[in-house]
Structure 1
Amino acid sequence: MTLEEFTAALGRDVSRETFARLEAFAALVHRWNPAINLVAKSTLPHLWHRHILDSAQILGHARDDIAHWADLGSGGGFPGIIIAVLLAQDSPQTRVTLVESDQRKATFLAESSRQLGLNPVILTTRAESTRPLAADVISARALAPLPRLLPLIALHAAPQTIALLPKGAGYQQELAEAAADWRFTSTAHPSITDPKAVILELRNLTHV
């Protein structure tokens, strides 16, 4: 994917320096994936569309004045590292925290951050046992269904926190199941990478 194709698909300006960082990260994923399985092998040929662009679109649904972004279950860096790269361009003062309990994947996140010149805080713990982060924005991609995910978000939320969660075609069923124990305001933003998927925006999360 070229810079022009990426910016056109994303609908926002991306500098050549930022795009070069994304290219460097893509190369790292290809290099490490055989040993750690950062992403499904079948998706590697579609890494830019399936993982990088899919992660990058999340930032477009966050407000501009973000002090602290927390990504739960960061895995291979999607979306956490991608968000950190884009924030380094658009909002370098924003703190980024990546929570990943798998030691090997956390090592990959740390080495990738070092090589890309990023400085996120990387916590090698499970989200449920991590100290409350009080983040302005919380993201989590393919971590858990909403009924299991919302307690983690609530733990790390502040009063005005928004959660931005990529979800597939079954998101409405997840919302219905989560509504049994939680109250929240939800908005489903269409995904630019999958017509059946959405970026689920949650606000005002409270336990019943």
Structure 2
Amino acid sequence: MSASREARLVQYAALIRKWNSAINLVAPASLAQLEQRHIADSAQLARLHPDPQGPWLDIGSGGGLPGLVVAIFHPELPVQLVDSDRRKVAFLQTAIRELGLANCTATAARIEELPPADAANLSARALAPLDRLVPYLDRHLAQDGTAWLMKGRNWQTELTAARRNWRFDAEIHPSTTDPAAAILQISNIRHG
């Protein structure tokens, strides 16, 4: 890992710790394990997709996990963070500025009200069940785009439920930070 990337990740962790009591960016009980439970977890996307092309959209960004971490790992990649909570977007805008991430923007908006993004990549972590996320993927991904969804212990149940109304290709990547969790790589989304 480059020294500048490592320095930015350390600075990002410090910003989360500084702001967390006011905004609740991550669960207070998980703050002690911030680097492993949240930042290393989000960094898995950089390992799974080491050379992403085209714009990246992170929905329900919250404290920037995983989108801000993706922007740190890929400083040449345009990354848009979206969250409906204006306080969290204020944090994200501060973090983007302090980390010097010229490739990254943060927008306060509801996902369903955002104009279609035509994103090559879309990420979400701990946002909503998969059957509720797929319509957002359908709206915001480019036709040949890929979604990278970080899902917890119920990912298999969520996958089954989403396939009742949607067709898509799904590649399952086991999480390296939680053996019960997975990263779902979803593409070729179509209704029915």
TM-score normalised by the chain length of structure 1: 0.90
Find the counterpart in structure 2 of residue 66 from structure 1.
53
- Counterpart CA distance in 2 for 1:20 and 1:63 is 20
Aligned pair count? 191
- Indicate conservation of the 8 Å contact 1:62/1:137, yes or no: no
Deviation for aligned residue 1:60: 2.1
Q: Secondary structure at the match of 1:26?
A: helix
Letter in 1 for 2:178: D
Find the counterpart in structure 1 of residue 122 from structure 2.
138
- Counterpart CA distance in 2 for 1:162 and 1:73 is 17
Deviation for aligned residue 1:45: 0.4
Letter in 1 for 2:35: W
Residue of structure 2 aligned with 1:101, choices 84, 108, 119: 84
Residue of structure 1 aligned with 2:111, choices 110, 115, 127: 127
Deviation for aligned residue 1:59: 2.0
Label 1:107 to 1:203 Cα distance change in 2 as closer, same or farther (>3 A): same
Q: Which blocks of at least 5 consecutive residues in structure 1 are unaligned?
A: 1-13
- Indicate conservation of the 8 Å contact 2:96/2:105, yes or no: no
Q: Deviations over 1:120-150 (max 9, x none)?
A: 1212101110011000110000110011000
Matched, 1:26 2:2: no
Deviation for aligned residue 1:62: 2.3
% identity of equivalent residues: 46
Matched, 1:47 2:30: no
Query: Which segments of structure 1 move beyond 6 Å, counting only runs of 4 or more?
Result: none
Q: Which blocks of at least 5 consecutive residues in structure 2 are unaligned?
A: none
Q: Secondary structure at the match of 1:118?
A: coil
Find the counterpart in structure 2 of residue 172 from structure 1.
156
Q: Secondary structure at the match of 1:122?
A: strand
Deviation for aligned residue 1:66: 1.1
- Counterpart CA distance in 2 for 1:201 and 1:84 is 19
- Indicate conservation of the 8 Å contact 1:80/1:98, yes or no: yes
Matched, 1:200 2:187: no
Residue of structure 2 aligned with 1:160, choices 144, 158, 181: 144
- Counterpart CA distance in 1 for 2:142 and 2:67 is 19
Q: Secondary structure at the match of 1:43?
A: helix
Letter in 2 for 1:139: S
Label 1:123 to 1:132 Cα distance change in 2 as closer, same or farther (>3 A): same
Residue of structure 2 aligned with 1:151, choices 124, 135, 140: 135
